[in-house]
Amino acid sequence: MKERLPLFIGGEFVAGESHRILAVTNPATQEVLTELPFATQEEIDRAVASAKRTFFSWRETPVPERARLMLRYQHLLKEHQDDIARVLSRETGKIFSDAQGDVWRGIEVVEHACNIASLMMGETAENVGGRIDTCTYTQPIGVCAGITPFNFPAMIPLWMFPLAIACGNTFVLKPSEHDPMTPNLLAELFVEAGAPEGVLQVIHGGRDQVDALLAHPDIRAISFVGSLPVARHVYRTGTQHLKRVQAMSGAKNHMVVMPDANRERVIRSLVGASCGAAGQRCMAISVAVFVGDAANWIPDIRNAMAAVSPGPWDDGNAAYGPQINPEAKERILKLIADGKNEGADCLLDGSNCRVAGYPEGNWIGPTLFSKVSPGMRIYTEEIFGPVLLCAQVGGLDEAIRIINANPYGNGTSIFTSSGAAARKFQHEIAVGQVGINIPIPVPLPFFSFTGWRQSFFGDQHAYGKQAVKFYTETKTVMARWPDDAPPGEPNMTINLA
């Protein structure tokens, strides 16, 4: 029997009391790494109560001190980056370089949180009326919660709790039940950095635990990343319970290839953007739209994809790792079979992928379809695997129409040497994040992650300035200090015209 992973409540790692246990496995071997107890309602209530008690003292902590906590935390994360990546690799199956990148992109957000003093500055205006001055203050909102997915168990939790806590809030994290060891390690390092007791809580579980957080009356804001059906549920349920919600969901990201693009850069970018991280990322390129003669490069892309293969985390020759679990693998296999049955041309089939020495791994080889149309199931559904679909169009206008007709709007890109084509694309495309000769346009943390349409539900996006607004409220103060008003002077009407 493996040791159970603890919960983190009230500043202590505590054994879960639930009899509902999930085995956390290595996706390359099916080895059980740990046993995960799902938090009980009493444990969730205890975690939220601890966060609520701590909030009233933490909000009074001077902003520079909160920034210094983040400075210490980012130092520890950098010092232990490889240690975190090794844990992350074992429970996700990611190759080591991908795991290092997962951790690093989270560290960048913590670095951004170190600038919280400037990010929380308000505004002032003098003499808005007769001897009346007005200013605004940015203040924390209370207990916040985050629900994070399996595909980035370091980066996405670090998108959430450091900024929320730096703003003066407290936080309850419910990470994915498929890879909870990495978030627990993040919490350990946060304690080592000097985080006060109760500022961060980590509870584990699945749908029931999510619903408990959504309905809890003492939680003010919910951040979520996951699939479209769950994102809709989180947004509807959270807002019905009068919470702020930012819910980031699925994607079907397109890359437009113009005939004047750099051929080698296109091929290299498409292989990496479709197969990297086993295709398990919401910003992966899953559809390549070839304009005119650019479609002649599809055979070259097929050859380049055939040259890469998955493998275990410590295989330096592996391009990516396994799918997170057997259920994810089976879903992808079903979609590949549907694509063949619907009439798409399968130029490269990774359905029967095998990796020597790892017969139990959740492997899917690179897969390439051409002659894909928008009505096919492989096009309408997010595959979330190393599968690239190719469509051919006559011009850029048609490519834009196809992308804008898709319900998702997370990311897109265009590869071209024409400034006019690039500007037309970036202006007319109805997608939140656009790359020009960049396949995966994920912004650095001083900007915000800005998916549109059914890729995002809410008003303020993740990290950057928008996240600070999401985790805070604005207080406006109007003040007049008369120096000669007689006692009992009646209130005056303020004319701001």
**Residue keyed to tokens 């390549």:** 288
3-state secondary structure of 346: strand
Q: 485: which 2 tokens?
A: 């008003």
- Kind of pairing, strands 285-291 and 387-393? parallel
Closest to 321 (Cα-Cα) out of 308, 306, 335: 308
- Alpha-carbon separation of residue 352 from 29, 325, 348, 377 (angstroms): 17, 16, 11, 21
Backbone φ and ψ for 495, nearest 5 degrees, come out as -100, 110
Q: Which residues contact 493 (CB under 8 A, 6 or more apart)?
A: none
Amino acid letter, 332: I
Q: Residue 180 forms beta bridges with which residues?
A: none
CB 337 within 8 A of CB 294: no
Chain center to CA of 386? 19
369: Cβ–Cβ under 8 A, 6 or more apart, which residues? 339, 344, 345, 346, 347, 378, 387, 388, 389, 390
CA pair distance 176, 253, nearest whole angstrom:
23
Instruction: Name residue 36's beta-bridge partners.
Output: 22
Nearest to 333 by CA among 312, 352, 319: 352
Torsion of CA 255, 261, 262, 266, to 10 degrees: 10
282 part of the active site: yes
> Given 114, 167, 275, 282, which residue is catalytic?
282
- The DSSP element (H or E) to which 33 belongs, if any, is strand 32-37
Helix (H, G, I), strand (E, B) or coil at 132: strand
Long-range contacts at 480-488 (CB < 8 A, ≥ 24 apart)? 480/129, 480/130, 480/131, 480/132, 480/133, 481/131, 482/131
Q: Which are the contacts of 118, defined by CB distance < 8 A and separation ≥ 6?
A: none
What spatial distance separates the first Cα and last Cα of the chain, rounded to whole Å?
A: 74
Catalytic residue set: 282
